[in-house]
Structure 1
Amino acid sequence: MNLTLLSVANEIEKAFKSLIKSGRPDITDDENNSLIESLYVDLFDNEYILRQVLDDNHTLLKGRRGTGKSTIFLRAEQEIQKNKAKFAIYINLQTCYEEVKSANSDEENLALTKYLTYKNFLTEILKSIQKRFSSKFSSDKEFEELFKAIEEGKYIDKDFQRSIDVTSTQSQENKSDIGGKLGLNNATLNVGLGSVDKNESTVSTKVTELRIFSIHEILKRIKEIANKRGISKIYLFLDDFSELNMDSQKVVIDSLIAPIISSYNETYKVKLAAYPSRIYTGNIDSTKLPSYALDFYDAYEQSSSTYGDVEGLAIDYISRTLAKRIEIYTKNQISLGEIFDLDRAPLEEYLKTLFYCSSSIPRSLGFILNYAYLSSINKGNQITIENINTASVKYFEENILADFINDVRFKQSFYDDKDLLDQIAQKNLMDKIVEKQFNVKRETIEQYQKGILKKQIFTETLEKNRKGPLFWMPTSHFFINKDTEKLLKTLELYFIVNKFNEGSSREPGKKISYYGLNYGLCLLKRIDYGRPAFRRTYDYWRQEEFNLNEYIPRVISNIEVIKCESCEKVYDETEYNIYVVHKKCFKCTHEDTVRVTNKFQTKFKKKIEEWHEKKLPDVHINVLRILYNNIDSEMTAYEIGTQIDRHHLSVTHAMRPLVNNKYVSYKERDKRYYKITDAAVTKFFSDTLDTIE
């Protein structure tokens, strides 16, 4: 037992858990002083990414969940606050979205819902701006008058008109409710009502004038007031953009961001954070909204000449991040190397393993190390490779896989050009890739044992890495043509696969992209991870056995069933292309009866019904997720709130229905300590989707 390590075990745990925090991760010390400035580690030398967010250009940060977008924003805000001529406003768009959803009760009418989304998004954003200005200019009458005028409708765009047909079921006496729902007075609402009876009936309503906020005039007025107080630059930090669906992203871009970028470049600076492959930018000129990638390959490939350089920079980022956390939290009592068992493996191997299992994503790194901590440092022992591997499997099963297949808030890549690529279809694609890669390993070993293996590179791999009866034959990575890699973007968003490299195809003029399966998934499915050290990555990973260029599209195409709804004739793709021209079924000759459907449609509908039964508000799901990830611990409302970016009173409020429904239990000592119940685990986290045949 390492007594020195045990003496700082609590501090090391805090260091690991600080990496897990999501939302506004304002990490503080025991005296509530922010540690962000001292803990911040940039992807590049000289804090390159931070400087891009601080400069006078509009900026788009692109990175998957946990890559540190919110941390960068928070660090940038701290710097801006030091300059009296600059002003920062942080807006969490996901929180706005939740407010918008709760306000939009009329889901049956798409036109009305879109308008309400528009109106409520701008309202919530303006509230955020008002709150931020009020905190700095608490008794400023000009700001008070401005927002009072906005509430009274004095900043309505008089040139904006839309005609919306609204159909709703209501009593004749309540037909004016639509105006109230829209937040409009009689002067701005021209309504034509259809015939109604005295009781309840369907009312057809046409709203011919919907006058909305003139964002140009509001921003212009805010600029004038700010300039009077010596503020020349206003930074708008818009976070969690990709948590919005496509329609809501269009509202934010078209009604807020695009107008600012086109008209207010001198004063307003937009800083937007989004996921790659899940972002709508409309007609914004890309040169006016430069993007900076945070995922390791996209971040480092432009500054590296080889894949080895990319991997080296990613591992260095992990090393710098962990060293800084250990240094700050333990007050320099131990170094990074002292938390690992270096008698079993060199530090470089630990860092490379952490790179493989986390893809250099800080939040993933925090989860894995926190799981590893329980079986090592918590007992006074140093972390081993085995501890990391066990933690990687646990992290995959309890976090990544659970989010991927059981979360009703499924986030799909906008590159998915087929509605058929739903959650179950994506799970099927994952299963098929895993099956394919495992079979390559199994068949290669069988050929070697029979003495018929022809590929020297595989023979060398098996012979150099054999340990008794056990063979090591890595099949974790594969390649696909770059122009079809969009098929993998949803799996990439959920960390099921990670992009590692690009290279030249054997086809002239084509490029290929190299992907690797999740490290924990590979351990779980007995797929050996990595590549042999004696050969270049390019040599090994580009072997034809790892070519999934035809396999992945074939798996996806097999999801589709094309058949006539009348006579049930099944069409192949060629027949369907002919049908599209004439629109008559070849067999029954009925018109417009052939449909492309998902062969898992019935199962998916059943899954949707199950989700509907257990649907909870996002904040409740987030609370349960944190408790589930800390299933062996009890947590206070404050501890939960720091991880989901909620005030502890908001968490306490969410706990009431969770406790009433027996999803959460608590014990009361100096305060309440919450714990997830077995009933909640069974209902929300133990369900899995079987492999679909």
Structure 2
Amino acid sequence: MNISQKNKDNFFNLVDSLKKCRRADLSDVSKSKDVIEKLYVDPLDNDLILKSISKLNTTILTGRRGTGKSTIIARLQHDIRKSKDRLSLYIDVKSIFEQSKAFSYSAENYADHFSAQDLNKYLIYKSFLKEIISEIKLELKTNTLKFYLAKITDYFGPDKTAFEEELNRIFDDIEKFEYMDVEVLKQKKVLSNEENKNSVNQKVTANVSVDASGPKGGFNAEYGTSNSDASSLNEEFSEVLLKCFNPILIMRNIRELLKKIGINHVFICLDDFSEIDYDAMKIFVDVIIGPLNNLSDEFFKFKIAAYPDRIYLGDIDPQKIEQIRLDFYELYQAKTITDVHAQAQGSIKKLIEKRTQFFCKQTPDEFFDTTKTTLDDYYKALFDITSCVPRNVGWILWYANQQSIAKDKKITLNDLSIAAEKHFIDTVRPYFSQNQFMREPFDMKLEKYHLHQLLERFVNTAKINKRDILVSDSKVFAKDKTKPPTSHFYINKKLEDVLKPLEMQFFITKYNEQKDQDSSELMSFFSFNYGLCVSEDIHYGRGSDRKYVIQRRFNNTKSLQGYLADAKHIACNNHQCKATHDYEMLPMIEMFDMLCPKCKTGTCSVEHANVDVELADEKILLSEFDMQFINSLKVDSPQYPSGLAQELDCTYQKVGKRAARLKDMGFLQAQEMTINKALGKRNYYSLTDEAVTTYFEQ
């Protein structure tokens, strides 16, 4: 068959729009200001997610990468801009945190107050908060002048300068106290010196009180220091920075100014909140988010995009916020797993239909081969492959497009299967396969190593189950004996936290909770990544019999417990105690703030068993971002900086900086060319042969 070039180009634009990370708008898709409204597909019927996040409360959107958090925030902002008394501010938290690492503060003013390492952290956090406040100022000025200019001129007169000057004055007052922290630290040092005089007696007491079980009291007998030093240091950072930036002053003055022009509520949208380090997150919440949220009389409300289980609330009352979970199992909770899957497949159907109509002015059957397969079969396959993650839908269709539409053929189920394997190999598997090339702390490498071993245990079990079912006489397996699916498994729910890193990286996905075959324990059910199954020759599915997946052979709890016994333990940091505890005691120890159950004074932490982890030469180690950079070019090359930035979820300026470093290392080449006439002549990046040989030919 022949597919017109226009349809080929339009379909490519469709899948390209889905697979890229688009942050605050979709301006590169269309110049229409209503494009987000035309393309938005709410995960729930009747736009329930949009309606929920539009309420006057602080809301947290949680989900893995690509689940649509940024798109929902963009849609919310679009609606707020049409309101008469609300204002939205967009803060790209990750980008601001990255910029803050190149701080301009002089270390001389603080040298007597912190160690060199702690001082570097403190100044990064201070710079981060300063940049956040600067961004709030910029967003306030831009959005008020753009959407409330008429009201500004009504109140301040035809010259908007008076309004700008008052806004500038608020933030100028903050800058006057920028070095207030130096004075606060000097005072705190005097206080701490007084405390240190008394601490000598406490240290002696601690040393005298040692018995067979270890030292008594809250001090380490050997060093005379509190076991909660790290936590106390972060609390001190927050206390000092609160006085430095005075968020209460910011809040009162901004609220007073904005109410003059009719603004009664400000929604501050925080994107990529979980991408910053946890200590920075805590300080950000304690110094800025908490005070503005709790003390503003409902004036400031936050809309936060975060990863599951990586959010800190501080003093914010969890009863007064709403958390919306976007991963399909938690989003579509229903009485039966069939209902959950049906709702998820319906969401994919709406997504593809709307995009096809917008970009191609066609229906999906123009691009999917429906001679032997229904469109619903394709939606089910896309659900199985992508776990209902919109960005992954885009990637799968992008790969499938190369095998089909681009070659004058409609997409088939086989094309989707091939695409799933390619996406897994190119995007998911590198988390483990490129571990040796990553410049990161050794304990992170060690954790990845052990997680990889655990995943391989589960994969090997699936292969054994496949062979055993082929010769089994059980009636449960009778209908599937020729091609037995073994892609699904379950574990005791109490241990599911161990698997969260694997789920976060899309190696597995949780899809259900129910009692096991013996109805004694609640179990968490997972499925392997579809592309992993294709790569490992594991048949994907839950079986024909509804009791298929609850058979004991799919219970991986003992395998997981064996992994924990080999790979992880809990160790006490008290040098007099040095006790180790089984990992399964973690929930109990966490209840007592990680206090050692043996010595009652030491603080416990989870440690990984040491093994020999393969490491590449220091000269070719790359940061996580640089590794993602070259992986993106390996998949799709050449690319221009702003397009690559959308793939990598960052600014084009960061792409330019990292490209310069990779060029210096001999791994990147740039060339001016015209690939798309609409884009004109641009600078395009591609990998050198040396990069391909070094990182991909193993």
Q: TM class by shorter-chain length?
A: 0.7 to 0.9
Q: Which residue of structure 2 aligns with residue 494 of structure 1?
A: 505
Q: Which residue of structure 2 aligns with residue 313 of structure 1?
A: 343
Contact 1:238–1:273 under 8 Å retained in 2? yes
Match of 1:461 among 468, 480, 485: 480
Contact 1:479–1:549 under 8 Å retained in 2? yes
Q: How many Å separate the matches in 2 of 1:294 and 1:288?
A: 20
After alignment, is 154-163 or 209-218 more displaced? 154-163
Q: Which residue of structure 2 aligns with residue 559 of structure 1?
A: 567
Contact 2:439–2:623 under 8 Å retained in 1? no
Match of 1:149 among 173, 194, 201: 173
Q: Secondary structure at the match of 1:95?
A: helix
Q: Which residue of structure 2 aligns with residue 201 of structure 1?
A: none
Q: Which residue of structure 2 aligns with residue 78 of structure 1?
A: 78
Deviation at 1:614, TM superposition (A): 2.3
Q: How many Å separate the matches in 2 of 1:325 and 1:397?
A: 27
1:263 aligns with 2:282: no
Q: How many Å separate the matches in 2 of 1:164 and 1:36?
A: 53
User: Structure 2 vs 1, CA of residues 343 and 611 (structure 1 numbering), >3 Å: closer, same or farther?
Assistant: farther
Q: How many Å separate the matches in 2 of 1:506 and 1:159?
A: 65
Deviation at 1:442, TM superposition (A): 1.5
Structure 1 segments unaligned to the other structure (5+ residues)? 166-205, 413-417, 463-470, 584-591, 688-693
User: Structure 2 vs 1, CA of residues 474 and 656 (structure 1 numbering), >3 Å: closer, same or farther?
Assistant: same
Q: Which residue of structure 1 aligns with residue 678 of structure 2?
A: none
Q: Deviations over 1:120-143 (max 9, x none)?
A: 221111011111123244741011
Match of 1:437 among 429, 452, 462: 462
User: Structure 2 vs 1, CA of residues 646 and 114 (structure 1 numbering), >3 Å: closer, same or farther?
Assistant: closer
Q: Secondary structure at the match of 2:60?
A: strand
Q: Deviations over 1:364-417 (max 9, x none)?
A: 1111110110010001100111111111011001101113553648899xxxxx
For 1:309, the aligned partner's letter is D
1:252 aligns with 2:284: yes
1:134 aligns with 2:141: yes
Q: How many Å separate the matches in 2 of 1:411 and 1:382?
A: 47
Contact 2:24–2:90 under 8 Å retained in 1? no
For 2:14, the aligned partner's letter is A
User: Structure 2 vs 1, CA of residues 98 and 310 (structure 1 numbering), >3 Å: closer, same or farther?
Assistant: same
Contact 1:155–1:217 under 8 Å retained in 2? no
Q: How many Å separate the matches in 2 of 1:350 and 1:600?
A: 46
Structure 2 segments unaligned to the other structure (5+ residues)? 108-113, 146-159, 191-235, 587-595, 674-680
Q: How many Å separate the matches in 2 of 1:683 and 1:32?
A: 42
Q: Secondary structure at the match of 2:329?
A: helix
Contact 2:512–2:525 under 8 Å retained in 1? yes
Q: Which residue of structure 1 aligns with residue 224 of structure 2?
A: none
Contact 2:439–2:621 under 8 Å retained in 1? no
Deviation at 1:272, TM superposition (A): 0.7
Deviation at 1:97, TM superposition (A): 1.9
User: Structure 2 vs 1, CA of residues 475 and 103 (structure 1 numbering), >3 Å: closer, same or farther?
Assistant: same
Q: Which residue of structure 2 aligns with residue 342 of structure 1?
A: 370
Q: Deviations over 1:277-330 (max 9, x none)?
A: 2222234322112101111111001xx221111000100111110111111001
Q: Which residue of structure 1 aligns with residue 553 of structure 2?
A: 545
Q: Which residue of structure 1 aligns with residue 230 of structure 2?
A: none
Q: Which residue of structure 1 aligns with residue 57 of structure 2?
A: 57
For 1:517, the aligned partner's letter is F
Contact 1:424–1:600 under 8 Å retained in 2? no
Q: Which residue of structure 2 aligns with residue 33 of structure 1?
A: 32
Deviation at 1:545, TM superposition (A): 0.4
Q: CA RMSD in A?
A: 3.6
Contact 2:446–2:611 under 8 Å retained in 1? no
Deviation at 1:596, TM superposition (A): 8.7
User: Structure 2 vs 1, CA of residues 624 and 224 (structure 1 numbering), >3 Å: closer, same or farther?
Assistant: farther
After alignment, is 250-259 or 357-366 more displaced? 250-259
Match of 1:602 among 606, 612, 615: 612
Deviation at 1:212, TM superposition (A): 2.0
Identity, % of aligned positions: 30
Alignment: residue pair count: 599
Q: How many Å separate the matches in 1 of 2:268 and 2:630?
A: 31
Q: How many Å separate the matches in 1 of 2:57 and 2:304?
A: 12
1:628 aligns with 2:634: yes
Q: Which residue of structure 2 aligns with residue 179 of structure 1?
A: none
Q: Secondary structure at the match of 1:287?
A: helix
Contact 1:2–1:382 under 8 Å retained in 2? no
Aligned pairs for 1:270-285 (under 5 A) are 270-285=302-317
Q: How many Å separate the matches in 1 of 2:259 and 2:377?
A: 55
Q: How many Å separate the matches in 2 of 1:621 and 1:419?
A: 16
Considering fraction of residues, name the structure with more helix.
Answer: 2
Contact 2:439–2:622 under 8 Å retained in 1? no
Deviation at 1:16, TM superposition (A): 0.5
Aligned pairs for 1:566-581 (under 5 A) are none
User: Structure 2 vs 1, CA of residues 474 and 252 (structure 1 numbering), >3 Å: closer, same or farther?
Assistant: same
Deviation at 1:345, TM superposition (A): 1.9
Q: How many Å separate the matches in 2 of 1:409 and 1:279?
A: 25
Deviation at 1:99, TM superposition (A): 2.0
Q: How many Å separate the matches in 2 of 1:364 and 1:530?
A: 19
Q: Which residue of structure 2 aligns with residue 394 of structure 1?
A: 422
Q: Secondary structure at the match of 1:11?
A: helix
Q: Secondary structure at the match of 2:686?
A: strand
Aligned pairs for 1:111-510 (under 5 A) are 111-135=118-142, 136-137=144-145, 139=161, 140-153=164-177, 163=188, 212-301=244-333, 304-330=334-360, 332=361, 334-406=362-434, 408=438, 422-445=447-470, 448=471, 453-462=472-481, 471-505=482-516, 510=521
After alignment, is 125-134 or 670-679 more displaced? 670-679
Q: Secondary structure at the match of 2:90?
A: strand
User: Structure 2 vs 1, CA of residues 58 and 561 (structure 1 numbering), >3 Å: closer, same or farther?
Assistant: closer
Q: How many Å separate the matches in 2 of 1:617 and 1:336?
A: 37
Q: How many Å separate the matches in 2 of 1:611 and 1:277?
A: 33
Q: How many Å separate the matches in 2 of 1:657 and 1:677?
A: 14
For 1:10, the aligned partner's letter is D
User: Structure 2 vs 1, CA of residues 652 and 598 (structure 1 numbering), >3 Å: closer, same or farther?
Assistant: closer
Q: Which residue of structure 2 aligns with residue 17 of structure 1?
A: 16
TM, length-normalised to structure 2: 0.78
For 2:372, the aligned partner's letter is R
Q: Which residue of structure 1 aligns with residue 641 of structure 2?
A: 637
TM, length-normalised to structure 1: 0.79
User: Structure 2 vs 1, CA of residues 118 and 156 (structure 1 numbering), >3 Å: closer, same or farther?
Assistant: same
Q: How many Å separate the matches in 1 of 2:598 and 2:66?
A: 50
